[in-house]
Chain A
Amino acid sequence: MAVPLAFFGVFFAYPVASIVSRGLKDGGSWQFARIGEVITDPRIGHVLWFTTWQAAASTALTLLLALPGAYVFARFDFPGKHLLRAVVTVPFVLPTVVVGSAFLALLGRGGLLDELWGVRLDTTVWAILLAHVFFNYAVVVRTVGGLWAQLDPRQEEAARVLGAGRLAAWRRVTLPALGPAVAAAALMVFLFTFTSFGVVQILGGPRYATLEVEIYQQTAQLLDLPTAAVLTLVQFAAVAALLGVHAWTVRRREATLKLVDAARTARRPQGAAQWALLASVLAVVALLVLVPLVVLVLRSLDGPHGYDLTYYRALASAGDNGGTFVVAPLAAIGNSLAYALAATAVAVVVGGLAAAALTRREGRLVRGFDALLMLPLGTSAVTVGFGFLIALDEPPLDLRTSWILVPLAQALVGVPFVVRTMLPVLRAVDVRLREAAAVLGASPLRAWREVDLPLVGRALAVAAGFAFAVSLGEFGATVFIARPDSPTLPVAVARLLGRPGALTYGQAMALSTILMLVCAAALLVLERVRTDRTGEF
């Protein structure tokens, strides 16, 4: 437990604390009056209100569209199910920047809808909401559907035999069992959309800003640190409250249910109604998930002289993009991969140790630690990034010029995924298996290697893959600390989008496509090694 705690202390708590204190301290004394001033500022009030209601609306819309999907994936067997489940997960690991550009290509000026019907949604809130649904569809399908698939259908059958109608049986038996999972999924979606940055930054235009976007603007553009600090605290409080509720629902979910093997509960749809449900879910997936991805790819190929690789070729040189880069954008691929690999290594070590510590011990303190590990997911990445710059640039920790800074920030986001993936698997390893190995002559270390490692090895691979994907897509913190001469893919995409002109736009689409393909490839590898028990994401 010491290593993860130290890691979080030095690379999370310290930078965040130092940026907050820098913002709120004036001449050595705390200026708490700022808090009141900022919160009562009508502009900030507007941002807060928008952040909250768009998160609520996104969550409601995601649940509405994804719950039928969760049911279909849990209970039906149909050809291509596994591939499709991997496909709907692709958006979740996609960098927010790519999601933003994909929806820009679909809904924006000169986008698909604009060309077809003259409809533009990029300046409306609908673009943001749809992008959020796209992004979080998999969270609901995996969290709720994963549990749903493991609920014993015989429970419902028992209720039927006892005289409950089909609907009553579902309402009285299945729904209460699913309730906590639905609540947990809703909270996760709310959390992700509440702190949404890349999507809103790209699709929101000047009119819409979430807290996170506002923090970015206050910090990076207006250089108003005190306001940014207050906003960081506000977001911190909101996220902490959400995580508290989340931890509570998770505990309730773990406590009560008897689960069965998911493979045995699914069967072919029967009757017109079930086929219709399957068809409508597939249609939603096609429209919501596949179309934006396809459009993104098409845009990247749709050059000035018809479909070709113009934009991809332009990526290879530094000179063709109006001086946006000092290096060729293509170099960003190498940077991203190197950073993401380092970040994955850090996340796996820290997260693995944390998960091991959480498995071995019980009690309130441990649960607190569990929640603490989730905090980086909800904390303003912008704050973390900027905090890195401020806090880690002087002795004893002068890392500002070190390349390690980027992987460290990215690992911070990867750790929660590693912990979430490893924990259920580690908890499932029966203590007596280790005892059996010991009786047969295996030392504790040997027993761990022979018994635990093979059982959790696959989960470890999955965890590493997730950490890799989220590190690859990390934007909020990286945008601050990546050096201009070594941008990562998402940073390069954002820079390209920030420039006018068809060529840079096309290049952004091309680079996003590359990023998407790398993430999708990582995910497809994951689906192959995925174990039944692995995690919630």
Chain B
Amino acid sequence: MLRLDEVTVRFGERTVLDAVDLSVAEHETVCVLGPSGSGKSTLLRVVAGLQRADAGRVLLAGKDQSAVPTHRRGVGLMFQDHQLFPQRDVAGNVAFGLRMRGTGRAESARRVAELLELVGLPGAQRRPVGALSGGEQQRVALARALAPEPRLLMLDEPLGQLDRSLRERLVVELRALFGRLGTTVLAVTHDQGEAFALADRVVVMRDGHIAQAGTPLEVWRRPASEFVARFLGFDNVVPATVRGECAETVWGRVPVPRGTPEGACRVLVRPAGVRIASVAEGLACDVVARTFRGDHVVVRLRPADGPELEAACALASAPGVGDRVGAVFGVDEVAVLP
């Protein structure tokens, strides 16, 4: 459906997108994940034709779009801060794209009602957009983007400004909705939870180029680099030397998956793979912090040597700050990074 061919964008000296290759298949939901300033929003703007690429091509359904102005590309874009038209009511906003395509009044009113039903705002047609809450604006913006049935729907930080519970609910709703409508979606976000929940495929970006692409499970299980691992919130990374089925680190020996090539690398131990045991059993550490996470507790451990590490443990068995414990590493939660 969408293909980017070595797309490069420069703002003066800074290269915002550096020869990015990306493709999105029909009916697929792809989420671009990256910290702010990694070029994700620019990527969407290039596809929409709001930003000219300095090099490379954007192809939609196999056709080069470089000479096609924004309004003829037939893509939808939901802006980060919605950009609802303040002088129009909800129906006026949702129907805007339909009017641009010359859809008749009755047909357009029917579509608006249908879409508002779909996004959970039935009967909101006449409400002024200024009076809507953040979540409602969000839904109106989504309905507005969906109304002209774009061949590609792009979402810029779709759930960014919403509170946590609403966000979690909307992610589920959106995924179900896109599945039902068969929409092709390209979304960008800085929140990995959102990306993993929404996407068929995740693309992690860093400084204008793609750091890793894959299914959420692949990216989660095998981060391609220390950057990706740390961006996903995994801080237990140390330099290591693999010998056989173990890696030598400052934390002692860490088991690695079978078939890992020998030699120097880095290993990641996800917090769930750090088990708290007695000092005699594992790496001796002091507990320096304890964070309650609802269904589990994350404790921060300081070993005698090397970087601090985090362990996720059950509520009942979590040690307190100041305790001296031993850390044992489980091979299932270990990933080897280059």
Contacts and interface: CB of A to CB of B under 8 A. Distances in A.
**B partners with A:** yes
Interface of A: 430, 432-433, 435-444, 446-447, 450-451, 454-455
B90 interface: no
Contacts of A436: 77, 79, 83, 85
Interface of B: 48-50, 69-72, 74-77, 79, 81, 83, 85-87, 96-97, 100-101, 144-145, 148
Contact of A441 (B79, B85, B86, B97): B97
Given A438-B70, A441-B148, A446 B85 contact: no
A430 B84 CA distance: 11
B86 A439 contact: no
A438 B68 CA distance: 12
B188 to A, nearest CB: 15
Given A432-B83, A441-B72, 7 more contacts: A433-B85, A435-B50, A437-B100, A438-B69, A441-B148, A444-B69, A455-B87
Nearest to A446: B100
Pick the most buried of A430, A441, A447: most chain B CB atoms within 10 A of its CB: A441
Contacts of A444: 69, 71
The 9 A-B pairs at the shortest CB distance, nearest first, are namely: A441-B100, A440-B97, A438-B70, A436-B83, A439-B77, A454-B87, A441-B71, A438-B71, A432-B83
18 contacts: A433-B83, A435-B48, A436-B83, A437-B96, A438-B48, A438-B50, A440-B76, A440-B144, A440-B145, A440-B148, A441-B74, A441-B97, A441-B100, A442-B96, A447-B71, A450-B85, A454-B87, A455-B87
Contact of B70 (A430, A432, A435, A455): A435
Pick the most buried of A430, A432, A435, A440: most chain B CB atoms within 10 A of its CB: A440
Pick the most buried of B49, B74, B97, B145: most chain A CB atoms within 10 A of its CB: B97
A531 to B, nearest CB: 11
Pick the most buried of B83, B86, B144, B148: most chain A CB atoms within 10 A of its CB: B83
B87 A439 contact: no
Nearest to B73: A439
Nearest to B74: A441
A460 to B, nearest CB: 14
Nearest to B51: A435
A444 B69 CA distance: 9
A451 B88 CA distance: 10
A450 B96 contact: yes
A436 B148 CA distance: 13
Given A432-B79, A438-B50, A439-B48, A451 B85 contact: yes
Contacts of B49: 438
A441 B101 contact: yes
B138 to A, nearest CB: 14
Nearest to B82: A436
A268 to B, nearest CB: 25
A440 B100 contact: yes
Nearest to A451: B85
A430 B97 CA distance: 19
A442 B148 CA distance: 12
Contacts of A432: 79, 81, 83
A447 B81 CA distance: 19
Contacts of A440: 71, 76, 96-97, 100, 144-145, 148
A451 B85 CA distance: 7
B50 A443 contact: no
B146 to A, nearest CB: 11
A117 B79 CA distance: 70
Nearest to B70: A438
A443 B85 contact: no
A457 to B, nearest CB: 9
Contacts of A435: 48, 50, 70, 77, 79, 83
A517 B145 CA distance: 51
Contacts of B79: 432, 435-436
Contacts of B96: 437, 440, 442, 450
Given A437-B96, A439-B76, A441-B148, A430 B83 contact: yes
Pick the most buried of A439, A441, A444, A446: most chain B CB atoms within 10 A of its CB: A439
Contact of A443 (B71, B101, B148): B71
A435 B145 CA distance: 13
Contacts of A439: 48, 50, 70-71, 75-77, 145
Nearest to A458: B87
A454 B96 CA distance: 14
A437 B92 CA distance: 12
A518 B86 CA distance: 34
Contacts of A455: 86-87
Pick the most buried of B48, B69, B70, B75: most chain A CB atoms within 10 A of its CB: B70
Contacts of B97: 440-441
Contacts of A446: 71, 100
A465 B100 CA distance: 33
A450 B48 CA distance: 20
Nearest to B87: A454
Contacts of A443: 69, 71
Contacts of A430: 83
A221 B144 CA distance: 69
A414 B96 CA distance: 36
B122 to A, nearest CB: 22
Contacts of B83: 430, 432-433, 435-436
B302 to A, nearest CB: 39
Nearest to A433: B83
Contacts of A442: 71, 96, 100
A98 B83 CA distance: 48
Pick the most buried of A442, A446, A447, A455: most chain B CB atoms within 10 A of its CB: A442
B185 to A, nearest CB: 15
Nearest to A440: B97
A182 B79 CA distance: 39
B151 to A, nearest CB: 12
A461 to B, nearest CB: 14
Pick the most buried of B48, B50, B74: most chain A CB atoms within 10 A of its CB: B50
B152 to A, nearest CB: 11
A378 B96 CA distance: 46
A438 to B, nearest CB: 4
